[in-house]
Amino acid sequence: MPDIVPLFPRGLSKDEESSRPTSSLFDRTMSLDVRGLILEVDGVRLIDGVSAQISGTGRTMIMGPNGAGKSLFLRLINGLLEPTRGNVFWNDMPISDALRRRQAMVFQRPVLLRRSVKDNMDFAFRVGTPAIGLVGGTVDEVRRDALLERVGLCGRHDQPARLLSGGEQQRLALARALIKEPDVLLLDEATASLDPASVLMIEEIVNEVQALGTKIIFVTHDLGQARRLGDEIIFMHKGKILEQTDADQFFAQPQSEAAKDYLAGRIIL
């Protein structure tokens, strides 16, 4: 019976735990506070004064029609985009490289390096080391292989990553993101246009990762997926947050007309 390698081999020794700094930078839970966020491009306001507080646990699903600003909002909170005005705070601290290294992002179109499956994983080991050196700059081959096995890519180490199928590529991107043992996992329509088996596997892994304490923020168009995964729903329309509420309440009693139309499958103008 082979040893089971956990997705996140966290767990510091008692000495390490006691020497671990206690400032909020090292808190496992990362809560988000967004204040008056505005993004303008060429004079057009794409994110319009968004304020929100998102707790550091559970799964927050960001929903809304096309062009609502969901992906832009996700990029703003990860620091990939600079807001025109407003602030993003993680644990009351402005976004910084150290904080961003504790987050991982999975994009709608997986960005895979022109390398083999194994080398894509190894790249993340070497570059994306966590703020505290749990992994270091070297490759943890046992953990890499365990992650690849978990996403169904066992034995595909030497295959060119960009020749995998769409679903396989996205699963590899997810496995690679998990190398960082992120405290926050951001997914930008990560299961759009994937086959049901791949969607199911990604959702299972997202649930496992969340159970290990990682905050999930997931942009999705898929109502079924939002129902299955969501603890909290943020509904956006025209660059604004119209609703931020418990998932059950959102699906049972949406407050805004736009959300009602969206859930009913009507075109929202």
Partner 1 sequence: MQFYWLAGTMQDIGSVLSLAFGLVISGDKDLLEIVGLSLRVSLSALFVSTFIGLVVGALVATQQFCGRTFVKVLLNALMGLPPVVVGLMVYLVLSNAGPLGSLRLLYTPTAMIIAQAILITPIIAALSAQVIETIYAEYKDYFASLAMGRRAIISALLWDGRYGLLTVALAGFGRAIAEVGAIMIVGGNIDHLTRVMTTAIALETSKGDLALAMALGLILITMSIIINAGVMALNLNARRYAYA
Interacting residues with partner 1 (CB under 8 A): 75, 78-80, 97-98, 100-101, 103-105, 107, 111, 113-115, 123-124, 127-128, 160-163
The CB-of-79 to partner 1 minimum distance in angstroms stands at: 8
Nearer to partner 1, 35 or 115 (CB): 115
Q: Say how far apart CA 73 and CA 34 lie, in whole Å.
A: 10
Closer CB to partner 1, residue 98 or residue 200? 98
Nearest-10 crossing angle of helices 166-178, 117-127: 30
| Token couple for 43 | 């004079």
- Compare residues 105 and 147 and give the one whose CB is closer to partner 1: 105
Unique residue bearing structure tokens 């306001």: 45
Give exposure, 71-98, as e/b (b: 16+ Cβ within 10 Å). bbbbbbbbbbbebeebebbbbeeebeee
In angstroms, the CA 45 to CA 85 distance is: 11
Residue 200 gets the label, from left (phi > 0), alpha (psi -120 to 50) or beta, of alpha
CA dihedral 157, 162, 166, 170 (to 10 degrees): 60
Which of 158, 173, 195, 66 has the alpha carbon at shortest distance from 110? 173
Q: How far is the CB of 100 from partner 1 (least distance, A)?
A: 4
Nearest distance from C-beta of residue 81 to partner 1, angstroms:
9
Least distance (Å) from partner 1 to the CB of residue 14? 30
C-beta closer to partner 1: residue 89 or 123: 123
Give whichever of 192 and 223 is closer to partner 1, judged by the CB atom: 192
Q: How far is the CB of 258 from partner 1 (least distance, A)?
A: 28
